[in-house]
Structure 1
Amino acid sequence: MRFLPRLLFAGAVLALAGCNPAEVYPVGNANVPQPKKSVELNRYLGKWFEQARYEASFQKDCEGVTAEYTLKRDGNVRVVNTCRQGAVNSVSRSAEATAKMVEGSNGSKLKVTFVWPFEGDYWVLDRADDYSWSIVGEPSGRNLWLLTRSSRVSDRQYATLVKQAASLGYDVSLLRRTQQ
């Protein structure tokens, strides 16, 4: 009987997959580039603050968004994404996942699982040499995140991140700045 709820959930996900997400969430980059640099996992671990993103249903009305990555005993990564619904001072909600490095990607590509057996791509497309910022996307070009180690950045720092995303081929007019 435990199989039935999983089967129903899988059926619901497949039914939703028939919807056309391009109508709501357009492709912001039809030619997503391969990641520019390798990623040293131990340097990437820790807390990241979202400065901007392409809007997605799973992040609707999220502010004060953070992602925290910690190493698990099995070598995979524990992911905890946190959002404050509607305002930076509102109640937070979190989602936990497990990420696995993609072989041959020099640490720049991960497969993330929030609900087994479904995986999502997480590509570190570019990052600062000192790991103070990263630009994250995935192959469809519908998702993009600008992340920093600091909760707040200057307008100049933000403009630099946006310019870097544009240089990777992203339509930066689709970015939604996150309140931190």
Structure 2
Amino acid sequence: MKKKILALGSLTLLSVTLFVMNLCHSTPKKVKAIQNFDKDKFLGNWYEIARLDFVFEKNLNNTTAKYSLNKDGSLKVINRGFNFIKNKYVAATGKVKFVGDSNTGKLKVSFFGPFYSGYTIIALDSDYKYALMAGRSLKNLWFLSRDKTMPQNIKQEYLKTAQDLGYNTSQLIWVQHN
């Protein structure tokens, strides 16, 4: 009886692990990753222009992401922002890996050891100045720019893309950079 319970427990743990691993690579149904992605052009500083808020960025302004290359070919990201409630800057360093080949903008990031969450680059201009990124659900979305602002025509294009994919863009937080 103990062996059956142990086997069932192991099978349950394996099932939960596989389910969680699948979640970290998942994206909403209609979301498609960009192709012909050049990770070297993507490196450097990005300003967060807008986001759908979530717990790790709550009460943050002046949010940025800085991408650099690790020796193993993965990327390092340092997300930084100013918590206007606590009146201090906070930062988190993560490791970004590609899901599949590095020419596709489908990624996963870990800020907590072996636990990864998927995100996908769904729009990126040819000069790598503006990016639209989706998380693993319709509750995660980011507009990024190399500058503290984004041209209105790019904002409108990204808003339409996000709305067409099912995102509730009325809930976007437009980040202040001061």
In the superposition, the TM-score normalised over structure 2's length comes to 0.76
Task: Give the alignment of 1:1-180 within 5 angstroms.
Answer: 31-86=29-84, 90-104=87-101, 106-180=103-177
Q: Does the 8 A contact of 2:122 with 2:133 survive in 1?
A: yes
Q: CA RMSD in A?
A: 2.2
Unpaired runs of 5+ residues, structure 2, are: 1-15, 17-26
Normalised to the residue count of structure 1, the TM-score between the two structures is 0.75
Which whole-Å CA distance do the structure 1 matches of 2:103 and 2:138 have between them? Answer: 21
C-alpha distance after superposition, 1:46-90 (max 9, x if no partner) = 111001000101110110000000001111111100010128xx5
Q: Measure how far apart 1:155 and its partner are.
A: 4.4
> How far apart, CA to CA, are the structure 2 residues paired with 1:138 and 1:154?
23
In terms of Rg, which structure is larger?
2
Identity of aligned residues (%): 30
SS at match of 1:53: strand
Unaligned runs of 5+ in 1: 1-13, 15-28
SS in 2 for 1:34: coil
Shift of 1:159: 3.3
Task: Check the 8 A contact 1:113/1:120 in 2, yes or no.
Answer: yes
